[in-house]
Structure 1
């Protein structure tokens, strides 16, 4: 009762309900709107001012203070620049993972604790649990498995989670979150979920990249034969497994097997069983373990995309911040640059960045 909490209030449904629940539980809540991006893009007006207005209305309804913190420099440097650089080198980045590490549980957390916060809170669908025997803090998947966001939190450390609250992590589902918002008169219960990369908006990643990186005409090549099938505006525009946007005219559906941004070539196949689209092993780099120490080698659950299936796999910890994930049966190849997140039951243990599959890239 009375502990001081700084809450990230985005103007969305989840953070609005989080604020209401914290007030009802007796916390001293200060809401913070993090202005991470305010620049309009071609064909897209950034809605940050609308989101701020929604956050202000929620704060007034709940009788709590709202501050606006400018995080644009950190967001540009650690999220946007990272995304552009990854695509330029043929990787498929995950900006939400980086934003959580560097902005929400980096800049925001640091400023909040410097201001005297006892705790911070966000609207993430996740849970924290403190083991009474060891005192260790664990990150647990949310009650709502479909909305669970621990996949995006694997780069955050235990110390931050030990001082974090996730109020909606125990709520049954998003429909219940909306109903609870409506009951409290917060006025955002009908607001649509944010989707995709927040600063790109509905214009799409292709438009953003072509506005940011140099357009380079190149060939679309059949993976099996080396035959040129068509042309593209830049290999950086494509990701492994992609089917739409190849613009190859009629004929069978084709899938991107790999990209070579140095030679500016995109390799595709019409064969869904193509070995370049499947793998039994993922090598991970830049591995981070939430508890600080790696787990023992063994069988764990692994997720390779948000809301993707949790699959059993053997995880082997390697030297140099690396790990190897081995599946008992072939799985769809994961785009290099994406995250593979590792779980022990409900507990999110950590994860790593997927390296290129040598089968797909052996051209």
Structure 2
């Protein structure tokens, strides 16, 4: 449980179904905010409050070291190389559905021997065994498309998903989850959503936070024809498609490319400029949830799928084929 309304309702639903429910709160980051209080401490108090209401046990586990090594350090390396990694995707695959899941399994086996158990979270997604996957577990989008979090779970392996249930997978947050929380009078019923990355928080600018860990190196921002438009404070401070933040121009400029070797960024003025769009994208390394690539990917023409490169992006039709180079 995270201390939010989603995991609170997930726990409540499972308790109502007659399951033996216990809550686990992960502490992944311990930096205090500007008021001198660690946000995770506030969240843990909310978890304890809900657990008291539901009359279920509450456990806390510190995974700060594991998070630093498997998520933060990896993401930091990507930012330093001009990439835009997603720490939340890493956190789910490496920590929540990796280290934590293994920890639970070990504790259960050590304490009570082998017994049936499930790992539940408040994600808006579904995990089911598919008809066309040989019975292996498959990840599906949540019914509430505005809150669907399958993107964040896309790197979680099938072995982990096989132990997972998502009680909110078929529910709507605004119509169902908030209502259930109010009806149960849960202390988190009206709690605002957490929108920031856990190690940054909601009050800090992301590029300023990264500058505490990555040396800033000023470079040029150029137009597509080589005109110098301004400067940037570090190749990690902007991502593709983001406003370049250049003053002195009537219209905004948008980053369409980065040159790490020359420490340059390139920008165009029209948000719908062709240079901001791509018809072909090379991706890798590839993670298949089932452990194997789908049939047809090696064939000429590949297979027809839908692609999503960032959270909340509308899925785009595409053709996926193996790189023959």
How does the TM-score come out when normalised to structure 2? 0.90
1: distance between equivalents of 2:96 and 2:83?
24
- How far off its partner does 1:273 sit? 4.7
8 A contact 1:147–1:174 mirrored in 2: no
Q: Tell me, yes or no, if structure 1 residue 151 matches structure 2 residue 151.
A: yes
- 1:335-356 Cα deviation digits (max 9, x unpaired): xxxxxxxxxxxxxxxxxxxxxx
Residue 319 to residue 58, structure 1, CA distance change in 2 (3 Å): farther
CA RMSD across the alignment: 1.9
**For residue 48 of structure 2, what is the aligned residue in structure 1?**
56
- How far off its partner does 1:132 sit? 7.1
- 1:106-152 Cα deviation digits (max 9, x unpaired): 01100111122621111111111124794322211111111111111
- 1:167-206 Cα deviation digits (max 9, x unpaired): 1111133342111111112111111111131221120211
**For residue 78 of structure 1, what is the aligned residue in structure 2?**
70
**For residue 196 of structure 2, what is the aligned residue in structure 1?**
196
1: distance between equivalents of 2:40 and 2:275?
41
1: distance between equivalents of 2:37 and 2:214?
20
- How far off its partner does 1:275 sit? 3.4
Q: Tell me, yes or no, if structure 1 residue 47 matches structure 2 residue 52.
A: no
Which runs of structure 2 are paired with 1:132-147 in the superposition (5 Å)? 134-147=134-147
- Higher strand proportion (structure 1 or 2): 1
- Structure 2: where are the runs of 5+ without partners? 109-115, 298-302
Residue 204 to residue 319, structure 1, CA distance change in 2 (3 Å): farther
**For residue 314 of structure 1, what is the aligned residue in structure 2?**
319
8 A contact 1:236–1:261 mirrored in 2: no
8 A contact 1:302–1:313 mirrored in 2: yes
8 A contact 2:72–2:87 mirrored in 1: yes
What is the number of residues matched between the two proteins?
310
**For residue 30 of structure 2, what is the aligned residue in structure 1?**
38
- How far off its partner does 1:251 sit? 2.3
**For residue 178 of structure 1, what is the aligned residue in structure 2?**
178
Residue 293 to residue 99, structure 1, CA distance change in 2 (3 Å): same
Which runs of structure 2 are paired with 1:94-105 in the superposition (5 Å)? 94-105=86-97
**For residue 255 of structure 2, what is the aligned residue in structure 1?**
256
Q: Quick one: which of 300, 305, 312 aligns to 1:300?
A: 305
1: distance between equivalents of 2:174 and 2:48?
22
Residue 319 to residue 290, structure 1, CA distance change in 2 (3 Å): farther
**For residue 212 of structure 1, what is the aligned residue in structure 2?**
213
- How far off its partner does 1:41 sit? 5.8
Q: Tell me, yes or no, if structure 1 residue 270 matches structure 2 residue 265.
A: no
8 A contact 2:207–2:236 mirrored in 1: no
SS at match of 1:314: strand
Which runs of structure 2 are paired with 1:312-351 in the superposition (5 Å)? 312-318=317-323
1: distance between equivalents of 2:36 and 2:201?
7
